[in-house]
A and B are shown apart, each in its own frame.
Chain A
């Protein structure tokens, strides 16, 4: 080989297209990160001063636009309440479905494929359609029929209520739990299942004693992701349980409730004086953002912890 040929291997020549292409895609990435940063900085900067203990812990009077007396305690409690009730429904159903899909079903069977397609579709249904479903099914069908049977047709369940909002959200977040659980079930080495079965364990015993303990971090992550998604959603609860204002905290499943996300919407669009409500609006947004992000971080921490524990001992 002669000397000039080797020279081609050196990359000291400026390659315009390479520079242009990496630059453009890099800029796109930077721009997206910029958006994220802009939203976070904007919310924190404007919301920080309003975020006082008084604000977080007080129950507002009728006029919650008044910056001096207002608070968001009922909204925090309402959001937490609806999300907890949702979890009680969605986790068992989601986990059992994932167990069926990975442990029992054969991948080639038609029913499995239909279930998977349904899960995929459920994940893509617009949140407002879930709201309509909650109204049409839970309130107008289930609730009204419950009233006819149990309460002599007086309206107890056949109206917007916390339980209906929670159930609607449970249907909405079902795919999140299923997908996360399925992922963690698939990550368990098949050798463990074989070992248990070869010792004469039944399938159920194997799932209960070996598979599920191993999948716990994945299940928890799925649950927390579902919670964090549901906590920020407003559209599905609009017609199924949220209240513009309530003087008392929700205590029963048939109560309506106030909600952080909905409160953000109300403050930003229904305020009589936009400039005056801006500080409390931003403070409320900050509370909502902290809650949803904190949940995400908690998910990460729990996952790491449970994994460490599992590694060490049963």
Chain B
């Protein structure tokens, strides 16, 4: 019923115009103490769409990403103005339970951070937290998640060895498996491939294209080719401001702003 009231996305020449809007930033500003790190961002992202946030370092793209699962709450002195809505609900409203929110908005970090536990326990961690105790149910979800993240074939014989023994790319895919095991609706990725070699990066990118069928993905990247390859929409940020947002093909071929053009063509950044 609720989708009837959802606004339709107005993407000029995109293929995603049929997607409903899921995430909406409405005049969002964020302060670290006195300094304003995000300046009046207004942006609407569609459901089951891959959106890339690009821009030079320090432009606030990661900070904006972390607003979506309220990871910024962990930092002292952060203050937010405006609204950040998911599915029409303001996630900064007073009665919002952050824990519940984070169950629905998964995250993959820049540096892979598997727990110092076995591979199996890493994936099962979130499930156990949320009350799944049945062994066969756990086994099933762990296998499915590892298959979805294209890791199953590589680790099925050593599920109970330490996750820290995996290679960097495998660790990052494990983190993705861990995130999708609890079936979030949105997955945030904060430069997930920046520390990986080209082959591992390619695998992660394939994986993202695969996951897009089921999840809404927001990815922060400083790799322009990567953004062009995997995203449907792209938002370009510069010193805390949203400069331009649109279909990826348009941003990379025919941007309407001069700064965007300079950045995507590699003239600065």
Contacts and interface: CB of A to CB of B under 8 A. Distances in A.
* Chains A, B in direct contact (C-beta < 8 Å): yes
Interface of A: 106-108, 189, 191-192, 194-202, 205, 209-210, 214, 310-314
B102 A198 contact: yes
Contacts of B117: 313-314
B116 A310 contact: yes
Given A214-B116, A314-B116, A198 B121 contact: no
Contact of A314 (B76, B113, B115): B115
B126 interface: yes
Contacts of A313: 117-118, 160-162
Contacts of B106: 198-199
B163 to A, nearest CB: 9
B160 A198 contact: no
Contacts of B100: 200
A107 B99 CA distance: 24
Contacts of A214: 116
Nearest to B129: A201
Nearest to A203: B99
A199 B179 contact: yes
Nearest to A193: B74
User: Interface residues of B toward A: which range?
Assistant: 20 to 34
Contacts of A106: 76
Contacts of A191: 109, 111, 113
Q: Which 6 residue pairs are nearest across A and B when measured between Cβ atoms?
A: A314-B117, A200-B103, A191-B113, A198-B107, A199-B126, A200-B102
Interface in B230-264: none
B73 to A, nearest CB: 9
Nearest to B121: A314
B170 to A, nearest CB: 16
B69 interface: yes
A210 B71 contact: no
B173 interface: no
Interface in B58-98: 69, 71, 74, 76
Contacts of B116: 192, 214, 310-311, 314
Residue of B99, B103, B116, B178 with most chain A CB atoms under a 10 A cut-off:
B116
Contact of A189 (B104, B113, B118, B182): B113
B38 interface: no
Contact of B130 (A189, A192, A196, A200): A200
Given A196-B125, A198-B102, A198-B107, 9 more contacts: A107-B76, A189-B113, A191-B111, A191-B113, A195-B113, A201-B125, A214-B116, A310-B116, A313-B117
Given A200-B99, A209-B125, A313-B162, A195 B74 contact: no
Interface string B178-198: 110010000000000000000
Contact of A311 (B69, B76, B99, B164): B164
A194 B71 contact: yes
A154 B131 CA distance: 53
B175 interface: yes
Given A108-B76, A313-B117, A313-B160, A195 B129 contact: no
Residue of B100, B113, B117 with most chain A CB atoms under a 10 A cut-off:
B113
19 contacts: A108-B76, A192-B113, A192-B116, A194-B71, A194-B109, A195-B115, A195-B178, A198-B106, A198-B109, A198-B179, A199-B102, A199-B126, A200-B100, A200-B103, A201-B129, A205-B129, A311-B164, A313-B161, A314-B116
A204 to B, nearest CB: 10
Contacts of A108: 76
B74 A199 contact: no
Residue of B129, B160, B182 with most chain A CB atoms under a 10 A cut-off:
B129
Nearest to A205: B129
B71 A197 contact: yes
Residue of A200, A209, A210 with most chain B CB atoms under a 10 A cut-off:
A200
Contacts of A198: 69, 71, 102, 106-107, 109, 179
A123 to B, nearest CB: 27
Nearest to A107: B76
